[in-house]
Each structure stands twice: as C-alpha cells, then as structure tokens.
Amino acid sequence: MTSSRFTLKTIAACLVSTGAATAFAHVTLPPGGATVGSDYNAAFRVGHACEGAKATTGLAVRLPKGFVLSDAQARKGWKLDVQKGKGDGEVRWVAETPQDALPGKERAEFVLRGKVPGTPGPLWFKVLQTCDVGSVDWAEVPASGNSTAGLKSPAAKLDVVAQGVATVDVRDGWVRQSVPGQSGTGAFMKLTAPTGTKLVSIATPAAGVAEVHEMKMEGDTMKMRELASGLDLPAGQTVELKPGGFHVMMMDLKGPLAKGASVPMTLKFEDAKGVKTALDVTLPVGAPEGADAAGAAHQHKH
C-alpha cells in the first residue's frame, strides 16, 4: 500500500462516466482512453441502421485535427476510400451491393489506426452513417466539457490522456455507506482497460488502508482475501467489482460514510510491461438501485 513506488503523480483526467444506456444507439468508440502520442486502434461500433432504415450502406469518418492516420481495415464487400489530408482527412467504407450492406440488427466494427495527438483532451471523430434510406451525421460536439449527455447525434469521442494517467474506463462506481464506529466498507465499479492492465493498489483519504479483495466460497463459508498481485484487467473486457465478488476493501475508515457523500480515490495500475499509471475518481456513497441485493451480508473480518 505504499504510494511511493509510484513516481507518476500527474493525474489530470477523470474517465468516470455514467449512463452507458445509449452506447449502442450511437456510433461509438470502445470505452477507455488513449495515451498522448500513442498508436490507437479506433474501432467504430455500429449497432443499428438509421431511423426507419433496414441497413447501413456506408460509413465516413472525418479524422480530427492532430490524429495521424496510418491505415484503415478493409471490409469484405465494401469499398474502402482513404483521404489522408492535413486535419481534414477522411476514411470511407461503402457497401458494394445492397447484399453487402450491414443489416440493422447486426453490430459491426469499422477499424482504422493512427497516432493520437501529443496533448491531452477529448478527440472527436465525426461519422456520417449512410443507410438504404436516409443518413445520420454523428457530428455533435458539446459546447463545453466533454460529456455527450443530452446530444442527439454525438460524434464519437476518444479521451486522450497525459502520460501516467490510466486509459481505463471506470463506470457505475459506488461506496457502501457506513455507520459511526464501523471500521471497514467496500467500493465497487466496472473497469474496462482498452489495452489490458492490472489494478494493483488503491489510495483514498477516507480510509487508512484500501486493498483489492476477492470473495470466494471455501467449503460453505464465504471468505475473502487480498489479491496480492493485483486484479487482472484483460484488454477490452469489462471487469466488475461487486458485492460478493471482487471489491475494493476500505479499512480503518476515517469517519462514517453517509449516503450522498462522495469518496475520492486513486486507482493505480501496472501493465505487463511494467508501465505504471493512475486515475483519480470520485465515487458516490450509497448503492445504486438494484445493485446491492447480496450486499447487506457483506461482513468484513480480518
């Protein structure tokens, strides 16, 4: 639990997002960010046709300024057209025949690769989706900030983060409330690491000690233990920390955590190459609706 092992203290961005309910209704990039200046596989997800249409017949991605395209992935039965341009490049896929079009009920990924800019911030890819009937221009960008909430046809967003900041997407996080005198509680969240990493430690001013734990049945008793070597986050896979399973164990609480309060937390990661990153998040206290059926019985004995 020493934080001195981590020399990178620059933790600027916060990738916490809430409400992914509309994710499949839009053209989006997978959860998580990209490190400044890194090569990025942009896999645009198309999960439906235009309104009233049966199939997607074309996709045109306008490359944002500062993104340097290296290549785009061909699709069988689709014509690929790449315009490199400076700050106005475009990649276009067009179905060669109606039979090659993407049916409205099928999901597909359209992939291009390139280098992201050397400065942190949101990168907006505007995408024109063409269908057998009509088209949708996914091109709205928020006037300020980087939340797409409330936008009808948002552009696809990629968060470019500084060196040392984790690219891990954290969502639906919360901390179980505690009563005066209670020494420990748990924190829960969903983590998606785009290139794979490990959650190795946690620091929070709300607790003297915070560890990554797992709960398991041993015989007929539920036992928990610290994951001493960290929690593996395979590339692109969402790992859920939830009551009865993996969790962040907060011990030696500095005070009671009341519903409605919030808890700042620094999540520290280390990937297979030994690259260490961290992410600052703020988690609300109190179980979200429907999240906590098994939770009340979660007793902590150490």
Question: How many Å apart are CA 251 and CA 207, to the nearest integer?
Answer: 6
Given the complex with Cu ion, which of 72 and 202 has the nearer CB atom? 202
Interaction pattern, residues 38-57, with Cu ion; x per rule: CB under 5 A: --------------------
Strands 34-35 and 156-161: parallel
CB 211 within 8 A of CB 249: yes
* Cβ at position 256, least distance to Cu ion in Å: 18
Given the complex with Cu ion, which of 112 and 249 has the nearer CB atom? 249
- Please, what sign has the CA dihedral across residues 256, 258, 262, 266? positive
Given the complex with Cu ion, which of 224 and 233 has the nearer CB atom? 224
* Cβ at position 249, least distance to Cu ion in Å: 3
- Give yes or no for residue 224 binding Cu ion (CB under 5 A): yes
Q: Map the footprint of Cu ion across residues 103-162, applying CB under 5 A.
A: none
Given the complex with Cu ion, which of 110 and 246 has the nearer CB atom? 246
* Cβ at position 248, least distance to Cu ion in Å: 8
Given the complex with Cu ion, which of 65 and 302 has the nearer CB atom? 302
Question: How many Å apart are CA 176 and CA 295, to the nearest integer?
Answer: 9
Given the complex with Cu ion, which of 226 and 232 has the nearer CB atom? 226
CB 29 within 8 A of CB 45: yes
Q: Shortest CA distance to 182 belongs to which of 128, 250, 118? A: 250
Q: Map the footprint of Cu ion across residues 204-223, applying CB under 5 A.
A: 213
* Cβ at position 237, least distance to Cu ion in Å: 22
* Cβ at position 265, least distance to Cu ion in Å: 15
- Number of residues forming the site for Cu ion (CB under 5 A): 3
Strands 78-83 and 34-35: unpaired
Q: Map the footprint of Cu ion across residues 231-290, applying CB under 5 A.
A: 249
Q: Which residue has the tokens 């400044």?
A: 36
Question: What DSSP designation does 15 have?
Answer: -
CB 177 within 8 A of CB 255: no
The tokens describing 140, both together, are 């709205």
* Cβ at position 196, least distance to Cu ion in Å: 25
CB 298 within 8 A of CB 244: yes
Contact positions vs Cu ion (CB under 5 A)? 213, 224, 249
